[in-house]
Amino acid sequence: MKRTQSQMLSGIELTKLPEEDDKYLYVVFSYTTGAYSHSLHRIRVADLKSCSSRDRHGEGKPKKLPKPFLELDCSQFPNYMGFFSVGSKIYMVGGGVITVGLKDIASRRCYVFDTCDNPFDRIRDVPPMNYEKLQPIFLGPLSNGKFYVFDRTLASGDLEEFDPETESWTPLPPPPIDPIGACAERFEEKLDDYEVLSYAIVEDQILFSTRKGIYAVNVCSKKWEHHSSLGGEVEFHFCERSVFMDGFWYAFPSIYRSPVLAFSFNWDKGFRQCQELGVSRPSWLVKYEASEIMVPMGKRTLLVARAGFPQLTPENCCLTFDI
């Protein structure tokens, strides 16, 4: 039987609607089968504290996912899109189709809708990216108010800057990596060598950790640097995205069950673990298709959300929260 599975959980930054007192967290699910490529869900921040209560195992009690306020038909919107928010607007970029045995199809398109609009599904096109991105990852905003998007590997040379004021895209210079060459096998090897394992924003720079060392790009000067190591470390001690808040970088050290760690940073020592939070991934209460996000909520508060299926039934998707 064909069933819909959650493959990715995205957290959109907190948004406050001007006509209401409440703030909301927007949660995005990406699907690989079924009629929809994504569903978007809105959760009141005031309800999160009740969701974060711990049971005797120290896990947040699961809550059934709120019904989506918007579902994106897979015939019109591709899978694997990246999402980020600017004020009350939510942008959706890239994505594509992955079929075993066939060439992947990626998109450059970009869409936006305003959560203040009525109805919510008033989606419009904005200028497309310069490069196709199958599984885009976004960073930002940085100190210049702009966002940056790439497609999982620096070998693609597709890092772009998005200016929300003009809704325009500007490609950044490619990183100083080894030439890839025309050989197909060598190309795949290079994609793997320069896969971004983890990344962090430090002031005006974006740091990327790869199997070939650490790369940094200054978003003001648009210049790259390659560090064979940083503070004596050739890779960061965390995986995927780090979240900066109150002077520390928060991240998971492993893709497997592991606690959230807080890291300090300076250019001489690199990232150094300084604290372990009592929150782990994934929750034992959501065993199937589990994924996690971290969202800074301000006032020394970090939201860690985990979602997945307690059982092999897509109707019972649950979320757990720890704050």
Q: How far apart are the C-alpha atoms of 159 and 150, rounded to whole Å? A: 5
* Lowest-pLDDT range of 52-66, 167-181, 222-236, 288-302: 52-66
Higher pLDDT, 205 or 306: 205
Q: How far is CA 209 from CA 76, 148, 189, 204, 315, in A?
A: 35, 16, 17, 17, 37
- Please say if the pLDDT value at position 5 is more than 50: no
Mean pLDDT of 187-206: 87
Both tokens assigned to 115: 């959560």
Among the listed residues 260, 254, 251, 303, the one whose alpha carbon sits nearest the alpha carbon of residue 11: 303
**pLDDT for the residue 19:** 44
Q: How far is CA 248 from CA 83, 200, 201, 217, 226, in A?
A: 24, 11, 11, 20, 23
- Please say if the pLDDT value at position 162 is more than 80: yes
For 58, left (φ over 0), alpha (ψ -120 to 50), or beta? left
Mean pLDDT of 147-175: 94
Task: Tell me the pLDDT of the chain averaged across its residues.
Answer: 78
**pLDDT for the residue 191:** 79
Is residue 122 within 8 Å of 113, Cβ to Cβ? yes
Pick the most confident of 53-67, 132-146, 304-318: 132-146
Residue 190: how many other CB atoms lie within 10 Å: 21
Q: How far is CA 49 from CA 27, 61, 316, in A?
A: 16, 11, 21
E strand intervals along 81-212: 82-86, 89-93, 96-97, 105-106, 110-114, 124-126, 137-139, 147-150, 160-163, 168-171, 198-202, 205-210
**pLDDT for the residue 277:** 77
Among the listed residues 271, 270, 194, 167, the one whose alpha carbon sits nearest the alpha carbon of residue 261: 271
pTM: 0.83
Both tokens assigned to 68: 């989506």
**pLDDT for the residue 111:** 95
| pLDDT interval class at 128 (50, 70, 90) | very high
For residue 282, say if its preceding peptide bond is cis, omega within 30 degrees of 0.
yes
Task: Enumerate residues 6+ apart whose C-beta is below 8 A from 320.
Answer: 51, 59, 60, 61, 62, 63, 283, 285, 286, 305, 306, 307
Q: How far is CA 114 from CA 82, 228, 237, in A?
A: 16, 43, 37
| pLDDT interval class at 311 (50, 70, 90) | low
Mean pLDDT of 2-15: 44
Distance of CA 9 to the CA centre of its chain: 8
* Lowest-pLDDT range of 38-42, 58-62, 127-131, 258-262: 58-62
Compute the C-alpha angle 117/121/122, nearest 5°: 60
Residue 250, CA atoms < 13 Å, CB-side half-sphere: 22
For the chain, how many residues are written? 323
Both tokens assigned to 138: 């976004």
Higher pLDDT, 30 or 159: 159
**pLDDT for the residue 94:** 94
Among the listed residues 35, 147, 155, the one whose alpha carbon sits nearest the alpha carbon of residue 94: 147
Q: Return the SS3 of 269.
A: coil
- Please say if the pLDDT value at position 234 is more than 70: yes
**pLDDT for the residue 120:** 60
Q: How far apart are the C-alpha atoms of 263 and 251, rounded to whole Å? A: 8
**pLDDT for the residue 190:** 79
Mean pLDDT of 47-76: 66
| pLDDT interval class at 227 (50, 70, 90) | confident
